Amino acid sequence: MSERFVVIPVGRPAAETNNKVTTDTSPGGQRWAGNGNNSVTVAQETPETSVPILEYSREPNKYGDGNPKESIPFINNSDLDGGNLYDGKNMALFEEEMDSNPMVSSLLNKLANYTNLTQGVVEHEEAENDEGAKKKKVKSPQMGTFIGVYLPCLQNILGVILFLRFTWIVGTAGILESFAIVFMCCSCTMLTAISMSAIATNGVVPAGGSYYMISRSLGPEFGGAVGLCFYLGTTFAGSMYILGTIEILLTYIVPNAAIFKGENGGETEAMLNNMRVYGTCCIILMALVVYVGVKYVNKLALVFLACVVLSIFAIYAGVIKSAFDPPDFPICLLGNRTLLSRNYDVCAKIVIEANETVTTKLWSLFCDSPFLNASCNEYFEMNNVTEIQGIPGLASGVITDNLWSDYGLQGMLVEKKGQPSISAPDSKFTSPYVSNDIATFFTLLVGIYFPSVTGIMAGSNRSGDLKDAQKSIPVGTIMAIATTSFIYMSCVVLFGACIEGVVLRDKFGEAVSGNLVIGILSWPSPWVIVIGSLFSTCGAGLQSLTGAPRLLQAIARDGIVPFLQVFGHGKANGEPTWALLLTAGICEIGILIASLDSVAPILSMFFLMCYMFVNLACAVQTLLCTPNWRPRFKFYHWTLSFLGMSLCLALMFICSWYYALVAMLIAGCIYKYIEYRGAEKEWGDGIRGLSLNAARYALIRLEEAPPHTKNWRPQLMVLLNLDSEQNVKHAGLLSFTTQLKAGKGLTIVGSVIEGTYMAKRPEAKQSEQNVKSAMAAEKTKGFCHVVVSSNLRDGVSHLIQSAGLGGMKHNTVLMAWPNLWKEQEDPISWRNFIETVRETTAAHQALLVAKNIDSFPSNQERFSNGTIDVWWIVHDGGLLMLLPFLLQQHKVWRKCKMRIFTVAQLDDNSIQMKKDLQMFLYHLRLNAEVEVVEMHESDISAFTYEKTLVMEQRSQMLKQMQLSRTEREREAQLIHDRNTASHAAISEKVDAVPDRVHMTWTKEKYIAERNRNREPAGMGVKDLFNMKPEWESLNQSNVRRMHTAVKLNEVVVNKSQDAHLVLLNMPGPPKNKCGDENYMEFLEVLTEGLNRVLLVRGGGREVITIYS
C-alpha cells in the first residue's frame, strides 16, 4: 500500500504529538506513532476488533517503495540505492528484485515528475550533480497551441520571399502557373506536417525538431546526415534573411547609403558588392546579439511577429480599397516598353510651357540635343509615350492579362502585352527600360519560392515549452500551414487581379519610383510594408542564428559525428558559442554569394531533403507496424507519407537538378562517415526494424533445402576455446576466418562454458564480450554464440545442431587441432574432438581442422610468393579446390600460387590422370599447377611397425590408467614381480638403431628387430604393464593405417615442406569407437613435419561445378 495512505484502526485513540515522531508500545500491544500534527495511532489488534480505514498522508512526492532517490523513470536505474530493500510483507515475494524492478507506484511517481526541458536552452539549468547546490525551480510549461505552435510557425513561414519576390513570381509565371507552384509547395509541407505530427505525437520529442525525429526514427546515420543538412538549410536561411534585410534597406529605405555606385549598366554588380559589405557587417552584429543573450531575441520575437501580421492585414486592406479607390501610381510606357521612373520627370516627349513647346527630360534620354530638330532614337520617334496606372484595382479586369506566364532571358525588356508598338533598332543610346536581371523559367521560380513555405518545424522545436505537445503540435502546425497556404493562394489571385503585369514583373519597383511593389498596394502607406518586412526579415535572421547553433549542438552532443564534438560545448550556461561561430562562418558564405535569388534554391534543397526523410520515417514506421508506433495523431497514412516523400524528391530536381545531386552527395558522404566512424547508437529506429523485417522475409523465402552448387559457399561455425579467464585461446582461427570469408556469407563464432547457466551467466556475458572484441580486432564479421552446458561435449553438439536460423545455417565447422592431446592424462579432449568429427559427418557438414593455428598468418601479413598445396587424395565434393580459391581473394594469400597433388596407384595411368585433372581445372576456371604423385605398393617398414607398437602400448597404458587406484596399485605390483628377472636380461641387449629402417619383413626379422629397437623409456612402460606382444598380436588394420599415414607423410613432406599452407583430405574416425585413441595418432603421423596444415573433410555434397 502506498505511503500516501495510512491505516487507522477505528476504536482506538490517536496520540497527538507536536513536530516529532513518537513510538511507544504499551503492554497491551498498542503501538503509537506520530508525525507533527498529522500523527495517527497504529494499533496491533485482531481483525475482529479493528476496522481499518484509509487516511491520505500529506507528505508529498514520496510514495510507492519509499525510495525518493530515483532520478530517472526507468526500470534499470543504476542510481537506486542497492541496500534499501522493501520492508513490507505484501510484496515480500518481489523484495529481492526491487533494486532492478521498482514498484509500479514509484515508477509512476517519477514519470509524473518528469519535465521535458528544451534541449540546448540551458540558462535555467543548474549543475545537477553538485552536492548541496540549490536547483532553480523550473516552471512547468504553460504554452498553448496558439502561442506555442501556431504563431511561431506563422512567423517562420511568412517572410522575405512574400514581401520581396512574390509579386515578381506571380507576374513572371502568371496566375495559373504561380498557383501551381504555390499548390505544389504547400501540398508538400502539408503532407510533411501530417507525417511530422504522427512522429511528434508518438512519445516525447525534445528540442532538435526534425533532427531528433529523423534520427530516432531512421537511425543515427540518416539522422546525422539529414540533421546536418537541416542545419545547413537553417544557416543558409539566415543568409537569405540577412540579404533580404540589406536589400530592403538599400533599395527602398536609404538607397543613398550604397558604397558602390553602378554606372553604364554596372548597377547589378555594384548592388552585389554592397550586399556583401553590409551583409557581413549585419551578420557580425547579429552574432554578437545572439552571443550576448538569446533571451532578448526571444522577447523580441513577438514584436517581429506583430510586424508580419500587421503587414498581412495591410496587404488585404489595400486590396479591398483598390476595388473602389485604387492608389495613384502611374507608370510610363514607350510603345509597349516600361521606362525607368528615375530617368524622367514627366511621362511625355514634349510639354507646352508658356505657349512654347519644350522637350522633357525623357526627350534627352533618346535624343542628342534638347531641340525639336535633334537626332533621336528610331524606336523613340516611331512610338508614343503612354501613362497607365500601376495598380488599376480589383475591378479593372487586369486579371485576364496576368493569367499566363512571361518568361525571358537575362536583359529582356519588360513589355506590356497588347500595347501597340512599332519595332525598331535601339542603337546609339542607352536603353532606359525596365529589364530582367536574371533569366527566368518555371523551375527557377519553384526554387526561389519554396523557402517561403518552410518553417513548419517551429512548433515541434518548442515541444518542451508546450502544455500538451501531443495535442498542440499537430493542430497548431496544420492550422498554420492551412492559414499561410490560404494567404499565398489568395495573394496569387489578388495580386494578379489588382496590379498591372509590367509592375508585377518589375522586381525592384523601378517603374514606380523605386517603391516596393507589394507596398504600393497596401493601405494606408507603402511604408507599413517596408518597415514591417524589414523587421520581419531581421527577426527571422536572428531566429536562424539562434536555432541553427542549437541544432548543431544537439547533433554534437549525440556523439554520432566525432569531429563535431567540439561544437557540443559552449559558455557556462550552455550557450553554443563554438557552434554559433561556425554558423556565422557558413552564413558568410551565403552573404558572399550576395544574390537572394541564388541563395534561395540552395536552402530549398536542404529543407526538401529534410522533409523527404520526415515522410520516409513516418512511412517506414507505419509499414513496419512496430509495437512502439502508437501516435496520438490518427489522421495519417503511409500512402500520404509516400506521396509527400515523392513530391519532395520531385521538387528537389525541379528546383535544380545539380543542386539536388550535390545535396544528396553531401548527405551520402555524411551518412557513410557516421556509419564508418561514428559512435554506435541504438535508438530503436525504423531502419533497424526494416532490416529485421527484410531479414525475416528473406529467411522465410530461403528454404531449408541446401542451396544450389553454384551458390554454395562455406557458412562457417568457428569453435573457439577459452582459457580460465574467458579469453580467446587461438585468435588465429578468427584471422583465418576473415581471410577465408572476406566478409561474405554467414559466420558464427561459438564457444562453450562448462557449468549451469544460472551459475555461469556472468561468465557467459563476459565471454561473449571478449569474443566480440577478438572478432573486432581480427575484423571478423559475424555473430557470436556462447552457450553454457553441463559438459563441453554436449555444448559443442548443441552448437552444431541448433546454431543459425531457418535456411541461414552453417554448413562448415572450423576448429583447431588439440595440440596437447598426448600430454593430457584425461582423454576427454581428444574424445571430444573425435565426437565432433563424427557429428559434423552425421549432420552432412564440412569440417576444417587447422593444425598449428598459432603459426598461421595474421591479417597484416602479406605473402609475396609461395604456394598453397592441395593434396587431393579422395573426392570430397570439390571443397579442397574451392578453399584455396577463396583464400586467394584475400590480400594475405593473393600472390600465392595453387598447386594440386593427387596420388596414382600402381594400375593408374599417371600421365592421363594429369591431363584429365588439368582439363577438369580448366573447366572449373581455376589456375593451378597439377602434379600426380605415384605411390607404389611397398613392404611395411620397421618404422611403421615401431610406430604401431608404440601406439598400441600407449593405448593399453591409457586403458590401464582408467582403472581404480587400488586396482592400479595391485596390477602394477603383479607386473613388477613377474618381470623383474627378464628386465635385466633384455636391457643388456638394447642397442641404438637408425630412426627409420626400411626392410622386407619376416617373423624372425621382426622379433629380432623388436628386441633391438627398444629404448629405455619404452622398456619402462613394457615392464610396467608386462607387454611383450608378438607381431601376430598387432592389429593388422592399425598396421595398414599407420603404413598409409607414414608413406603419405613422406611424400607430402617431400613435396610441400616449404608451402605456406597444405590442405589434406581428413580421414574419418573408425566406426568402432574402440579404436578412437589410435585415430589421433594416425592424424598426427600424417601431418608430422608440416608447418601449417588444414585438414578438410567434405560434407557429402558437391560444392563446385563446371557449369555456368
pLDDT in tens, 430-460: 568 888 888 999 999 999 999 999 888 877 7
What is the predicted pLDDT for the residue at 924?
A: 82
| pLDDT winner (highest mean) among 42-56, 62-76, 598-612, 672-686 | 598-612
What is the predicted pLDDT for the residue at 106?
A: 54
Query: What digits encode the pLDDT tens for the residues 680-701?
Result: 565 655 566 667 777 777 777 7
What is the predicted pLDDT for the residue at 489?
A: 95
> Which three cell numbers, joined as nine digits, stand for 61?
512526492
How large is the average pLDDT for residues 266-290? 89
What is the predicted pLDDT for the residue at 138?
A: 46
How large is the average pLDDT for residues 205-211? 61
Virtual torsion, Cα 786, 792, 793, 795, nearest 10 deg: -20
**Cα 889 to Cα 740, 786, 865, distances in angstroms:** 8, 30, 15
- Could you tell me which residues come within 8 angstroms of residue 599 by beta carbon, excluding any fewer than 6 positions away? 236, 239, 240, 243, 590, 593
Query: What digits encode the pLDDT tens for the residues 1060-1076?
Result: 999 988 888 877 777 67
How large is the average pLDDT for residues 620-640? 85
Q: Which residue has the cell 523613340?
A: 380
Query: What digits encode the pLDDT tens for the residues 351-406?
Result: 888 788 888 888 888 888 888 888 888 888 888 899 998 999 888 889 999 999 99
How large is the average pLDDT for residues 642-666? 92
| 233-261 b/e (C-beta count within 10 Å ≥ 16 → b) | bbbbbbbbbbbbbbbbbbbbeeeeebeee
Query: What digits encode the pLDDT tens for the residues 477-526?
Result: 999 999 999 999 999 999 999 999 999 999 888 888 888 999 999 988 88
Q: Report the C-alpha gap between 810 and 845 in whole angstroms.
A: 8
Query: Over the Cα atoms of the chain, what is R_g?
Result: 45
What is the predicted pLDDT for the residue at 37?
A: 41
Provide the pLDDT confidence category of residue 319 given band limits of 50, 70 and 90.
very high
User: Are β-strands 1061-1065 and 867-872 bridged in parallel, bridged antiparallel, or unpaired?
Assistant: parallel
What is the predicted pLDDT for the residue at 1034?
A: 60
Residue 803 has pLDDT above 80, yes or no: yes
Secondary element (H or E) of residue 419: none
Give the helix ranges, DSSP H, for 505-569. 517-521, 526-558
User: For the chain, what is the mean pLDDT?
Assistant: 77
**Cα 991 to Cα 611, 951, 1010, 1012, distances in angstroms:** 92, 21, 11, 6
Provide the pLDDT confidence category of residue 295 given band limits of 50, 70 and 90.
confident
Residue 57 has pLDDT above 60, yes or no: no
Instruction: Kindly report which listed range (87-101, 508-522, 1087-1101) carries the lowest average pLDDT score.
Output: 87-101
Q: Report the C-alpha gap between 640 and 1035 in whole angstroms.
A: 81
Query: What digits encode the pLDDT tens for the residues 5-37?
Result: 444 444 444 444 344 444 444 444 444 444 444
What is the predicted pLDDT for the residue at 56?
A: 37
What is the predicted pLDDT for the residue at 498?
A: 93
Closest CA to 811 of 841, 766, 838, 779: 841
Residue 782 has pLDDT above 60, yes or no: yes
E-strand stretches of 601-760: 716-720, 747-754
Terminal alpha carbon distance of the chain: 74
What is the predicted pLDDT for the residue at 5?
A: 42
pLDDT greater at residue 750 or residue 126: 750
Residue 199 has pLDDT above 60, yes or no: yes
Residue 963 has pLDDT above 60, yes or no: no
What is the predicted pLDDT for the residue at 118?
A: 36
Provide the pLDDT confidence category of residue 982 given band limits of 50, 70 and 90.
very low
What is the predicted pLDDT for the residue at 320?
A: 93
What is the predicted pLDDT for the residue at 968?
A: 52
> Which three cell numbers, joined as nine digits, stand for 925?
576456371
Residue 584 has pLDDT above 90, yes or no: yes
**Cα 799 to Cα 107, 539, 717, 805, 846, distances in angstroms:** 40, 66, 8, 12, 15
How large is the average pLDDT for residues 927-943? 75
What is the predicted pLDDT for the residue at 179?
A: 95
Beta bridge partners of 339: 433
Identify residue 82 by its one-letter amino acid code.
Answer: G
| 394-433 b/e (C-beta count within 10 Å ≥ 16 → b) | bebebbebbeebbbbeeeebbbbeebebeeeebeeeebbb
What is the predicted pLDDT for the residue at 41?
A: 39
